[in-house]
């Protein structure tokens, strides 16, 4: 997992404006029950600290199981209910989209092709 925080364009201030900060999390090649407890703990800590906009970059993800999907669902539900924020996915391979299709995951979470598209979406959230 690799994280980057990007601030959307606008007025600069000395403190972090969590309404304008976006974290990009690049997930590992396999998203399963062995790795997702750390992800969930980190995301809950950041969300409770004020972060409300998250991009999960799945460019390296070759496999995701139900536990990995459940972890993403838990994060999305929590941030939407408690912090009026959102989570989106980017760079999702065709292989992973085939896993998401039967459960219609794209109706629950927005999926974008690129970081630029996701950042554009977050300018209006």
pTM of the complete model? 0.85
pLDDT above 70 covers what percent of the chain? Answer: 82
* DSSP three-state, residue 24: strand
pLDDT in tens, 31-74: 656 667 888 888 999 899 889 999 999 999 988 888 889 999 99
**Domains (range + CATH), the chain:** 2-8+16-122 (3.30.750.24)
For the chain, the first-to-last Cα distance in angstroms comes to 25
pLDDT in tens, 96-109: 999 999 999 999 99
Q: In what order do the strands lie in the sheet with 2-7?
A: 2-7, 21-26, 53-57, 86-90, 110-112
């Amino acid at each position: 997992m690799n994280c980057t925080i990007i601030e959307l364009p606008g007025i600069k201030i000395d403190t972090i404006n969590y309404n304008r900060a976006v974290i990009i999390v690049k997930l590992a090649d396999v998203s399963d029950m062995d790795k997702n407890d750390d992800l969930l703990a980190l995301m809950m800590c950041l969300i409770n600290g004020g972060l409300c906009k998250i991009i999960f970059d799945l460019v390296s993800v070759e496999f995701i199981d139900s536990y990995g999907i459940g972890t993403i669902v838990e994060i999305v539900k929590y941030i939407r209910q408690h912090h009026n924020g959102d989570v989106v996915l980017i760079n999702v391979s065709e292989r992973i989209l085939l896993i998401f299709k039967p459960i219609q995951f794209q109706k629950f979470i927005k999926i974008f092709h690129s970081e630029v598209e996701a950042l554009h979406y977050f300018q209006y959230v």
